[in-house]
Amino acid sequence: MAGKVPPETVGTAAVKPLPDVDARVLSAFSHSCEAVLAAGLRQPSLRTVVRHSHPWFGPLDPAGWHFMAGFRLVLHRSQIERILMGLHGAK
């Protein structure tokens, strides 16, 4: 964050899951959740004039990105659980 806009364009293609994902993804997912929380806590303020464009919601400040990350991580955790249940034939 540090008051600078990342140079990369955010897009969905770069974050699609790989087809060979299995239950090991849960550990990596847990670490990513912790990293998002820690990144937000390190900042003196997530409300800044700096904006970075989201593919659907347009320019967001760090607070907007942090909120969206939390919302998406909850959704993705549910999706991971359903996918893994499907892989193991559970209903």
Domain boundaries, the chain: 60-91
CA distance 28 to 77: 11
- Looking at residue 68, its pLDDT comes to 92
The reply to whether the predicted model has a pTM over 0.75 is no
- Looking at residue 2, its pLDDT comes to 63
Question: Within the chain, which residues score under 50 in pLDDT?
Answer: 1
